Amino acid sequence: MFVSPCANFGRGELLLVYDYMPNGSLDKYLYNQPNVTLNWSQRFRVIKGVASGLFYLHEEWEHVVIHRDVKASNVLLDKDFNGRLGDFGLARLCDRGIDPQTTHVAGTLGYIAPEHARTGRATASTDVFSFGAFLLEVTCGRRPIERQGPKDDIVLVDRVFVCWNRGNILEARDQKLSNDFVVGEVELVLKLALLCSCSEPAARPSMRQVMQYLEGDIALPELSLLRLSPSGLVFVHDEGPDDVQMVYQCSYVPESTLLSGGR
């Protein structure tokens, strides 16, 4: 059995106990195991498993649990390479209909929703933003932000958008997959990641909708209004004859932002 770090929810301490995960964390198979590559079927199964776990935490349990640190290094793999979300050390629990009371930014650079960085308030929607970064991480085999020098960073969501905008989103996939993948599934996950990465919380899907997209129960909304501006990825929506535009800027948290607990 595995026991996670304590998650202090303000009413004492809780321990999460689940089966031993002999294959360790997912990130080592994305970055640190050059001789072991997870195939697309395994990756897609992991994605669905983590999505299902977040859906349960957000909507199916008697309380709402906000994880606050969704990323590949916090996903554990069992003997059959099924993924389970772990490390609830930053998680927050609240009653349904009551906002979680968080007062500081917690998480990891590249996965933090912009509104969480501004207000310190974590919600189910900020978990969805992190899940979007996680989708890109698993499908592209790259971290959300890669340091190329003191002033030169590669933002993964921007790279994926550029590939999508020129009509070849599959170019962004992990090249270690070669041609052994399901085209429709990879396209779906990458487009869903862009949708989850929007900085306006109301524009992101819920985890219930994410599950429906992944299972093919509903179709993804149109992404043709996505734009790349000097400030990052934007989602532009035209409204009515006055051509009023609402611009949702998918900006990323600067490194100077105070982080707590992420690694």
Q: What is the pLDDT of residues 189-201, one digit of tens each?
A: 999 999 999 888 8
Q: E strand or H helix at 148, and its extent?
A: strand 145-149
Annotated catalytic residues are 69
Q: Which residue has the higher pLDDT, 260 or 135?
A: 135
The whole model's pTM is what?
0.82
- What is the share, in percent, of the chain residues with pLDDT greater than 90? 47
- E-strand spans in 126-185? 145-149, 152-155
Task: Indicate if the alpha-carbon torsion angle 69, 16, 73, 57 is positive or negative.
Answer: negative
Are 77 and 46 in contact, with CB atoms under 8 Å apart?
yes
d(CA 191, CA 197): 10
The top-level CATH class assigned to 40-72+100-250 is mainly alpha
Write down the pLDDT at residue 117. 81
Q: E strand or H helix at 50, and its extent?
A: helix 40-55
Structural domain spans, the chain:
40-72+100-250
pLDDT band with cut points at 50, 70 and 90 for residue 258: very low
For the stretch 86-128, pLDDT in tens is 888 777 877 565 565 555 666 788 898 888 888 888 899 999 9
d(CA 151, CA 43): 32
